[in-house]
């Protein structure tokens, strides 16, 4: 199923998209990857959704990526005797470990690790930042706070602690159970919440043990500060602008988004921009102009993927939301300004033979009449390197491994073809590439393609060949007697 855009679309499944017919409609409308939110739904429900995605994949013979998003530790206050209280600006409010129901002066915060990390002057955010507190005194079991921005506080509202690195693992006990469950199920990507340091990623990687790629969600100020180290040990990144916009001043988020996208592109690792992209389409069949501009901005920046959350999981117009993203992407990518921005932001940091091969492939494709770049890849690395160059022509990723094809569903510009027969000679690779280009409508008999591969075949990290090849099969045999 050929897409006429390069950026990928991630759609979250939920109550509004919980059957085979709807999942198929979402994929046909443009969803390349489906997100399973482990914060909602039982294991049985997740298993059913996974099975339906794989059935759609089989019926349409098109690789589909599945991303399991782990919940991460949730920090919440306890309950109130009256269920809710109004906190006034300037008032004193105490957080402590006492499980007794709270009132207008105090409430339980059952997280001693927070008190262990707090310092006087630190800020606390409650209910998505609507209430702001500042610590005036603290100890091992309490924090006395001044109410900076008041408001209604109620049972089990979430707490954010932006000013300190909390001594919390990114994986809760629930997350460990969920991780093992979805790895056995066969998901392609694991999204790791609450990442603060590279050690958080290593823990998830060891538990996954190669069964899924690890995608770090950047939603904490500490993760932004340690981003280079986190990126190095991650397979991909999600710019989770929801919590990031709560814990940082909102005006800081756009430049952070731009900076993180460029670093991910330079590292040839996929990056998703997420949260509130088409929020109004939860209830409206049309987005706001500001939302369209937001989606377009992420595409102009060169993000690998853009994500829908509640819009496709619980909204009234899930298919329309996916189609809207698809329409925006096609329009933006056809704009010459888009190419100007993408070309200007391309990294020139090339150190390996593979880097040189893929850079040469882009240069040749853009200065001749090449119709597509076909790359043979075992692990997906070659395709990711080609995608890093952001070429103007389509990328056809040829792989014998369906798992690799599914993971590449998240990578910019890659259309994946699973090879049913093993390839051990370069001429076979060229023939298969020409067939895929013709069958996919990328090129005709009279056109040329570029083929990249590594010899010996089926060995990771050996990209070392680049060839301009005809699409007509008889010409391949005529020019290559091997």
Active site residues: 35, 76, 217, 275
CA distance 480 to 470: 11
For 256, the 3-state DSSP assignment is helix
CA distance 197 to 151: 32
What is the side-by-side order of every strand in the sheet holding 448-454?
414-418, 395-399, 370-376, 448-454, 463-470
Rg for the chain (alpha carbons), in Å? 24
CB 188 within 8 Å of CB 407 = yes
- Torsion over CA: 399, 403, 404, 409 (sign): positive
Q: Measuring CA to CA, how many Å separate 242 from each of 38, 129, 172, 237?
A: 17, 11, 20, 15
Residue 400 half-sphere exposure, CB side, CA atoms within 13 Å?
12
CA distance 52 to 35: 13
Question: Nearest CA to 215 among 181, 245, 239, 197?
Answer: 239
Q: Tell me how many helices (H) and strands (E) the chain has.
A: 18, 21
């Amino acid at each position: 199923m050929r897409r006429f855009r390069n950026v990928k679309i991630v759609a979250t499944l939920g109550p509004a998209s919980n059957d085979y017919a709807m999942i198929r409609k979402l994929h046909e409308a443009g969803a390349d990857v489906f997100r399973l939110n482990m914060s909602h739904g039982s294991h049985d429900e997740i298993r059913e959704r996974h099975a339906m995605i794989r059935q759609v994949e089989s019926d349409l013979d098109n690789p589909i990526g599945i991303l399991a998003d782990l919940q991460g530790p949730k920090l919440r206050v306890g309950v109130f005797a009256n269920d809710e209280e109004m906190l006034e600006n300037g008032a004193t409010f105490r957080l402590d470990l006492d499980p007794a129901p709270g009132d207008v002066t105090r409430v339980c915060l059952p997280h001693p690790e927070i008190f262990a990390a707090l310092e006087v002057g630190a800020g606390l955010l409650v209910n998505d930042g609507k209430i702001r507190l500042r610590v005036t005194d603290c100890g091992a079991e309490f924090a006395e706070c001044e109410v900076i921005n008041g408001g209604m506080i109620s049972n089990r509202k979430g707490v954010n602690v932006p000013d300190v690195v909390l001594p919390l693992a990114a994986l809760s006990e629930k997350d460990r159970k969920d991780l093992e469950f979805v790895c056995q199920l066969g998901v392609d990507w694991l999204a790791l919440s609450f990442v603060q340091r590279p050690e958080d990623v290593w823990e998830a990687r060891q538990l996954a043990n190669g069964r899924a790629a690890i995608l770090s969600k950047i939603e904490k100020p500490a993760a932004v500060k340690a981003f280079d180290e986190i990126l190095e040990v991650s397979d991909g990144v999600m710019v989770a602008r929801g919590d990031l916009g709560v814990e940082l001043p909102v005006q800081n988020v756009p430049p952070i988004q731009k900076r993180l996208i460029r670093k991910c592109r330079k590292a040839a690792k996929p990056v998703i921009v997420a949260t509130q992209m088409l929020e109004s389409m939860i209830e409206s069949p049309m987005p706001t102009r500001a939302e369209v501009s937001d989606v377009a901005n992420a595409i102009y920046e060169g993000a690998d993927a853009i994500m829908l959350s509640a819009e496709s999981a619980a909204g009234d117009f899930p298919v329309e939301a996916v189609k809207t993203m698809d329409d925006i992407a096609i329009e933006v990518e056809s704009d010459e300004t888009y190419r100007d921005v993408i070309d200007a932001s391309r990294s020139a940091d090339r150190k390996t033979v593979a880097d040189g091969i893929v850079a040469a492939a882009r240069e040749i494709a853009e200065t001749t009449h090449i119709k597509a770049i076909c790359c043979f890849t075992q692990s997906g690395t070659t395709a990711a390197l080609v995608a890093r160059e952001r070429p103007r022509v389509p990328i056809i990723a040829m792989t014998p491994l369906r798992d690799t094809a599914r993971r590449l569903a998240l990578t910019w510009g890659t259309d994946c073809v699973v090879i049913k027969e093993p390839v051990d000679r370069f001429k076979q690779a060229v023939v298969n590439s020409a067939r895929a280009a013709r069958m996919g409508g990328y090129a005709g008999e009279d056109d040329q393609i570029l083929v990249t591969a590594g010899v010996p075949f089926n060995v990771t990290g050996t990209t070392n060949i680049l060839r301009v090849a005809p699409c007509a099969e008889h010409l391949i045999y005529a020019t290559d007697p091997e």
